[in-house]
Amino acid sequence: MRLPDEPDIPAQINIVPMIDVIFAILTFFIMSTLFLTRQEGLPVNLPKAATAQQSQIPTKITVTVEQNGQVSLNKKPTTTEALTEQIRLLMGTNPESVVVINADAKVEHGNIVTVMDKVRQVKGAKLAIATQKP
């Protein structure tokens, strides 16, 4: 209860804590969107190519060949012999699937040709080789 002789105190809104909360929420959203990128391939040392381009077609299937010759399909280790059937299963009925070969620069040429041959045995698979600009 207020007494009549008390002075009226004007209502104040302290904006500093509100700004702190807004910046904290903004920081949370920025940091969370940075981790939403999806990368299918394993990290390898890609060869350099002056004509390298950013892929326009979303890649669905990534075949990674590591320096020691280990082959992986979408980050899952596999063998070269089983590669054709596994790619066929992953493609399903999608004729627009692109198979990207993500090979280390030090992998022998013969290993890459073998992997390319296995990919070409799948009807409708489009083949691409991952590179990076020098």
**DSSP states along the chain:** ---TTSPPPPP----HHHHHHHHHHHHHHHHHHHTT----SPP--PPB-TT----SSPP-EEEEE-TT--EEETTEEE-TTTHHHHHHHHHTT-TT-EEEEEE-TTS-HHHHHHHHHHHHTSTT-EEEE--B--
Residue 7 placed within a domain: no
Has residue 28 been placed in a domain?
A: no
pLDDT for res 24: 95
* CATH, residue 65: 3.30.420.270
What pLDDT is recorded for position 132? 78
Q: Is the pTM of this model over 0.75?
A: no
Is 23 contained in some domain?
Answer: no
- Structural domain includes residue 8: no
Q: Would residue 5 count as lying in a domain?
A: no
**Cα radius of gyration rounded to whole Å, the chain:** 27
Instruction: Give the model's pLDDT for residue 128.
Output: 82
Residue 56 counted as domain residue:
no
The pLDDT assigned to 38 comes to 59
Average confidence (pLDDT) per 10 residues, the chain, 134 residues? 70 88 94 73 70 59 85 85 83 76 85 86 81 75
* Number of structural domains in the chain: 1
Which tokens sit at 9?
């105190």
Boundaries of domain holding 120: 61-129
Q: Which residues contact 78 (CB under 8 A, 6 or more apart)?
A: 71, 72, 86
In a domain? residue 44: no
What pLDDT score was predicted for residue 129?
Answer: 82
Residue 79 lies in a domain: yes
Buried/exposed 90-110: b ≥16 CB within 10 Å, e otherwise: bbeeeeebbbbbbbbeebeee
Identify the pLDDT of residue 47.
73
